[in-house]
Amino acid sequence: MDLREGRFEGQMTRDAAEFSSSIEFDKRLFEADIKCNRAHTTMLIEEEIIPKDAGENILKALDELEEEGIDALNMDPSFEDIHMALEDYVTNKIGPEAGFMHTAKSRNDQVCTDIRLTLKDEIENTVKGIKNFIRTLTDMSKENLDTLFIAYTHLQHAQPNTFAHHLMAYANELRRDCERLMDTYKRVDICPLGSAALTTTGFPINRERTAQLLGFSKVMDNSLDGVSSRDFACEALFDYAMLSSTLGKISEEIVIWSSYEFRMVECSNEYSSTSSIMPQKKNPDIAELARGKSTIATGELMTTLSMIKGIPHSYNRDLQEVSVHLWNGIDNTNDILGIVHGMIETLTINKDRTEELAGSNFATATELADVMVREKNLPFRTAHRIVGRIVSEAISDGIGTDKIDNDYVDRVAIEVTGEPLSLGEDLVRGALDPLLNVKSRTVKGGCAPSAVEESIREMEKFLEE
């Protein structure tokens, strides 16, 4: 079958054919292309646009192709794309009446229908993957509701936290990544088939019927828009880029936390490497590579955005290139999602170390200031000043939080305000206890075990939806 022989004499050069063929990355559209042709042919038969016999022979050939699989297609780059390879297969099976299949259809509407169908499956698959990861995080959180942890701002020791609360931050970020994809799905789930080359067709096709046969929730309203729009692909790529970024952020923390200086977590051997020269090394290579690869989807997003930015309506061949980057961004992100999930699931937390960190380096200073406000009605700024001075003096005295008592607080309070605070030993010790710090943060979104349990319950509701 030769598409060119009507219009041209002779073939493209081999280079030009290879340069312009999408057949390699079209492999991904194999199943969707069969579905698309099947739905279109079925509708053509139903509307009596093509002879019933020819239509049924086409449908039979498509069934056979589905059974035989993609290897039955001649994927030579001299075919521009998989749509031509598929038509060639049907033609070889049933002869020239295969040509009825292309009545009132163009590769322009066919390709974007195929991409949308395939992308819908991809999104569903990724949503499932994210939800599985979130499930692991909620399970781990339940086990670590009062496992002390340290929270950072500016990557500097800030306040005591729990491991559960940190894991639930991951879960909430991933939930938004998931919801974003589910929202994008609505705009992918619209059928451009029937737009034909660009202005539809004079044949009385039934676009609602093909959309229904393909499982789309509605028909695209404008045919020029139908064949020329790839905003849905950019939008999906943004979602994947954002998800990648969440996974990169998680990976970065694993790299930091597993260093000797932090020693807060340890990656399992299955997710670690060693050095070819330093025999003692345990390196978090998987986390590092996840961090590194998490930039790929962002790059692909930039590429597709700039590709579509300056092209006119309607179909332009540039659009073919969008697919390459769309699938690459998706594949990379899915790889990272799976690997980061596995790495977190098998992570060991060093509880002695995280407890030690939560109680050291004046991480409880905010609570001490808060106690002054609560118990002695001090304006927070005054309390902030007193505690700032306590910390600065303790550092020059070379003492830690454990040595700060009521007398120490009063001595500094007198320096700052002229009066003692007389909080008493219990209040001072309580304020400086990291576990009590954590337990006092019971407000919604807080790190107290009760608040985190509430957050887990909400997350589980989302997972069951």
Q: Is the peptide bond before 422 cis (omega within 30 degrees of 0)?
A: no
The 110-149 contact track toward ligand ARG, x by CB under 6 A, reads -x--------------------------------------
- With beta carbons less than 8 A apart as the criterion, state whether 442 and 451 touch: yes
Q: What is the DSSP string of 253-311?
A: HHHHHTSTTT--EE--GGG-B--SS-TT--B-HHHHHHHHHTTHHHHHHHHHHHHHHTP
Smallest gap from Cβ 270 to ligand ARG, in A, equals 40
Please tell me the total number of residues recorded for the chain in this structure. Answer: 465
- Report the C-alpha gap between 428 and 419 in whole angstroms: 17
Nearer to ligand ARG, 23 or 45 (CB): 23
- Report the C-alpha gap between 446 and 256 in whole angstroms: 24
Task: Count the residues of the shown chain that bind ligand ARG, applying the rule CB under 6 A.
Answer: 10
List 147, 320, 401, 440, residue binding ligand ARG (CB under 6 A) = 320
Nearer to ligand ARG, 174 or 307 (CB): 307
Nearer to ligand ARG, 34 or 290 (CB): 34
107 near ligand ARG (CB under 6 A): yes
The 321-360 contact track toward ligand ARG, x by CB under 6 A, reads --x-------------------------------------
- Report the C-alpha gap between 162 and 434 in whole angstroms: 10
Smallest gap from Cβ 12 to ligand ARG, in A, equals 12
Q: Rounded to an integer, what is the distance from CA 282 to the centroid of its chain?
A: 28
The 261-300 contact track toward ligand ARG, x by CB under 6 A, reads ----------------------------------------
Which of the residues 14 through 33 are near ligand ARG (CB under 6 A)?
Answer: 22
Report how far apart, in Å, the C-alpha atoms of 88 and of each of 29, 93, 169, 295 are.
Answer: 16, 9, 53, 39
Closest CA relative to residue 428, chosen from 447, 449, 403: 403
Smallest gap from Cβ 317 to ligand ARG, in A, equals 6
Closest CA relative to residue 248, chosen from 293, 315, 286, 281: 293
List 169, 308, 319, 343, residue binding ligand ARG (CB under 6 A) = 319
Q: Return the range that interacts with ligand ARG (CB under 6 A); candidates 60-68, 239-247, 303-311, 317-325.
A: 317-325
433 near ligand ARG (CB under 6 A): no
Question: Catalytic annotation on 314?
Answer: no
- With beta carbons less than 8 A apart as the criterion, state whether 162 and 441 touch: no
Nearer to ligand ARG, 210 or 320 (CB): 320
List 33, 81, 367, 370, residue binding ligand ARG (CB under 6 A) = 81
223 near ligand ARG (CB under 6 A): no
108 near ligand ARG (CB under 6 A): yes
What ranges make up the beta strands (E) of 99-198? 148-153, 156-162, 190-191
Contacts of 243 (CB under 8 A, 6+ apart): 126, 130, 174, 177, 181, 297, 333, 337
The most distant pair of C-alpha atoms in the chain lies apart, rounded to whole Å, by: 101
Nearer to ligand ARG, 77 or 388 (CB): 77
Query: How crowded is residue 423: how many other Cβ atoms within 10 Å of its Cβ?
Result: 21
- With beta carbons less than 8 A apart as the criterion, state whether 248 and 295 touch: yes
Q: What number of CA atoms fall less than 13 Å from residue 112's CA on the CB side?
A: 35
Which of the residues 439 through 458 are near ligand ARG (CB under 6 A)?
Answer: none
Q: Return the range that interacts with ligand ARG (CB under 6 A); candidates 59-67, 314-322, 332-340, 403-411.
A: 314-322
Smallest gap from Cβ 204 to ligand ARG, in A, equals 24
Report how far apart, in Å, the C-alpha atoms of 305 and of each of 243, 283, 309, 334 are.
Answer: 18, 36, 6, 21
- With beta carbons less than 8 A apart as the criterion, state whether 387 and 183 touch: no
Smallest gap from Cβ 339 to ligand ARG, in A, equals 30
> Which of 268, 275, 422, 450 is labelled catalytic?
275
Smallest gap from Cβ 90 to ligand ARG, in A, equals 17
Report how far apart, in Å, the C-alpha atoms of 6 and of each of 29, 41, 97 are.
Answer: 27, 24, 17
Question: Catalytic annotation on 217?
Answer: no
Smallest gap from Cβ 24 to ligand ARG, in A, equals 11
The 33-72 contact track toward ligand ARG, x by CB under 6 A, reads ----------------------------------------
Smallest gap from Cβ 26 to ligand ARG, in A, equals 7
Q: Return the range that interacts with ligand ARG (CB under 6 A); candidates 158-166, 252-260, 313-321, 442-450.
A: 313-321
Tokens for 130?
């994210």
Smallest gap from Cβ 189 to ligand ARG, in A, equals 20
Q: What number of CA atoms fall less than 13 Å from residue 420's CA on the CB side?
A: 9
Nearer to ligand ARG, 207 or 230 (CB): 230
- Residue numbers at the binding site for ligand ARG (CB under 6 A): 22, 80-81, 107-108, 111, 317, 319-320, 323
Q: Which residues are catalytic?
A: 154, 275
